[in-house]
């Protein structure tokens, strides 16, 4: 009788190949069970991967857009809080300054003047606020302060006053400094970009135009009223009546600037609402596309676990058979 057998080398190669195949299948099923997705997507989709790739691309685009819009929402929220702070300072100054009359005591006038100077500086510092490394009220110049320091602006205003000591002359000089195109405020005070408003893209067709800047007429009026009152402290040697008028008239200007400042806040509030609506829509779209993607490639964990267990048993059996064959001797073979 003829006995057919394979050589030791061939048997070794055959066992090594089987071992490699079983390990490869074990790793594939382990990864599939861990990821929750079918490893061979092309096979699962019968080779039609175009739809899956399009969904994956849309999900990545949506994720980028959502992150960008969340950053925009945070920036708008920080701007709104900044203007809340400015408005709070304005309201408190109005309450104090409009009580100053020519019958007020020297102590009241001195205290109000110091307070006005401090609050003007606080307003300037507040408008130079930054969030996530971006200046909020400098327009597109997000890497630099929106305004020069309060000391720099006051010094330039005093130079523009030119030694005048009566209220009318000082008021005229302050108005000219803040309002003249190419004047003191635009060349010394405002340091941001004065060009087109900052634009933030929301989706493929819409963008948010953020017009709130420290050089807005509405914000400029608030600064003007505060600066006018601050001069009662900052200009030395002014007559008592001039100081009183500066404080009181500064308070009136701050009072009248309130409604316009609230208008700026309302515009920001509208943009906040628009951004939140877009984010809500994009989140819903992302959820829907994610579900479609999952339906296409999500793995059945119970089926994969069963297949994984079967391969483990095969691999264990393979090792046991290999161990037995390695212990065979010629005497046992015969």
Residues 111 and 20: their CA atoms lie apart, in Å, by 87
**CATH code for the domain of 196:** 1.20.1330.10
In a shared domain, residues 124 and 245: yes
What are the backbone dihedrals phi and psi of residue 206, each rounded to the nearest 5 degrees, phi first? Answer: -125, 150
293-317 residue pLDDT tens: 766 665 445 555 565 566 566 656 6
* Predicted pLDDT at 191: 97
In a shared domain, residues 169 and 236: yes
* CA of residue 46 relative to chain centroid, distance: 42
Residue 18 lies in a domain: no
Nearest to 115 by CA among 222, 236, 235, 229: 229
Residue 20 lies in a domain: no
Nearest to 264 by CA among 77, 71, 83: 83
Residue 24 lies in a domain: no
Residues 296 and 45: their CA atoms lie apart, in Å, by 7
Q: H or E segment at 40?
A: none
Average pLDDT over residues 79-87: 96
In a shared domain, residues 87 and 120: yes
Q: Does residue 117 or residue 314 have the better pLDDT?
A: 117
Parallel, antiparallel, or unpaired for β 134-135 and 198-201? unpaired
Q: How confident is the model at residue 90 (pLDDT cuts 50, 70, 90)?
A: very high
Average pLDDT over residues 196-206: 90
334 pLDDT higher than 80: no
Residue 70 lies in a domain: yes
In the three-class reduction of DSSP (H, G, I as helix; E, B as strand; rest coil), residue 235 is classed as coil
* Predicted pLDDT at 330: 45
163 pLDDT higher than 80: yes
Q: Which residues contact 4 (CB under 8 A, 6 or more apart)?
A: none
Residue 255 lies in a domain: yes
Query: Which residue is it, tokens 């691999």?
Result: 315
Residue 39 lies in a domain: no
In a shared domain, residues 170 and 309: no
- Percentage helix, strand, coil for the chain under 3-state DSSP, each rounded to 5: 70, 5, 25
The runs of H, that is alpha helices, within 36-49 are: 41-44
Residue 166 lies in a domain: yes
* Predicted pLDDT at 11: 52
Looking from the CA of 149 toward its CB, the CA atoms found within 13 Å total 3
261 pLDDT higher than 80: yes
24-56 residue pLDDT tens: 655 655 555 455 555 555 555 555 567 767 878
In a shared domain, residues 171 and 234: yes
User: How many domains does the chain fold into?
Assistant: 2
14 pLDDT higher than 60: no
In a shared domain, residues 317 and 280: no
| Domain boundaries, position 320 | 300-334
In a shared domain, residues 282 and 327: no
Asked whether 129 and 136 are in contact (CB, 8 A), the reply is yes
Q: How confident is the model at residue 333 (pLDDT cuts 50, 70, 90)?
A: very low
In a shared domain, residues 191 and 162: yes
Average pLDDT over residues 183-192: 96
In a shared domain, residues 305 and 193: no
In a shared domain, residues 212 and 327: no
In a shared domain, residues 207 and 265: yes
Global pTM exceeds 0.85: no
Residue 32 lies in a domain: no
Asked whether 251 and 109 are in contact (CB, 8 A), the reply is no
* Predicted pLDDT at 312: 63
* Predicted pLDDT at 300: 47
Average pLDDT over residues 281-291: 86
DSSP class of residue 185?
Answer: I
Q: How confident is the model at residue 133 (pLDDT cuts 50, 70, 90)?
A: confident
188 pLDDT higher than 80: yes
Contacts by residues 56-63 (CB-CB < 8 Å, ≥ 24 positions apart):
56/293, 58/289, 59/286, 59/289, 59/290, 59/293, 62/282, 62/285, 62/286, 62/289, 63/286
In a shared domain, residues 205 and 137: yes
Q: Does residue 4 or residue 192 have the better pLDDT?
A: 192
Q: What is the mean pLDDT of the chain?
A: 83
Count other Cβ atoms within 10 Å, centred on residue 259. Answer: 9
Average pLDDT over residues 132-139: 91
* Predicted pLDDT at 288: 86
* CB-based burial label for 70 (10 Å; 0-12, 13-18, 19+): middle
* CA of residue 268 relative to chain centroid, distance: 15
């Amino acid at each position: 009788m003829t006995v057919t057998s394979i050589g030791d080398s061939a048997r070794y190669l055959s066992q090594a190949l089987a071992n490699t195949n079983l390990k490869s299948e074990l790793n594939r099923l382990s990864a599939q069970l861990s990821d929750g997705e079918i490893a061979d997507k092309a096979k699962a989709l019968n080779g039609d991967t175009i739809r899956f790739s399009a969904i994956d691309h849309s999900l990545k685009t949506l994720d980028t857009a959502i992150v960008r819009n969340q950053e925009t929402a945070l920036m708008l929220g920080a701007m709104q809080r900044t203007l809340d702070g400015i408005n709070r300072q304005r309201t408190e100054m109005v309450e104090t300054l409009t009580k100053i009359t020519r019958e007020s005591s020297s102590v009241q006038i001195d205290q109000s003047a110091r307070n006005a100077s401090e609050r003007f500086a606080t307003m300037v510092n507040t408008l130079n606020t930054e969030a996530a490394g971006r200046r909020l009220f400098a327009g597109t110049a997000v890497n630099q302060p929106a305004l020069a320091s309060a000391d720099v602006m006051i010094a330039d205003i005093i130079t523009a006053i030119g030694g005048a000591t009566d209220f009318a002359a000082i008021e005229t000089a302050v108005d000219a400094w803040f309002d003249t195109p190419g004047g003191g405020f635009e060349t010394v005070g405002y340091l941001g970009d004065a060009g087109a408003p900052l634009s933030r893209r929301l989706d493929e067709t819409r963008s948010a135009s953020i017009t709130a800047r420290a050089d807005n007429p509405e914000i400029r009026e608030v600064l003007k009223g505060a600066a006018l009152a601050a001069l009662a402290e900052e200009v030395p040697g002014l007559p008592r009546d001039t100081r009183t008028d500066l404080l009181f008239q500064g308070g009136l200007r701050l009072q009248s600037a309130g409604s316009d400042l609230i208008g700026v806040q309302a515009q920001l509030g509208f943009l906040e609402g628009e951004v939140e609506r877009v984010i809500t829509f994009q989140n819903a779209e992302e959820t829907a596309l994610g579900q479609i993607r999952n339906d296409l490639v999500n793995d059945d964990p119970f089926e994969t676990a069963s297949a994984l267990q079967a391969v483990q048993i095969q691999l264990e059996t393979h090792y046991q058979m290999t161990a037995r064959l390695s212990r065979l001797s010629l005497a046992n073979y015969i």
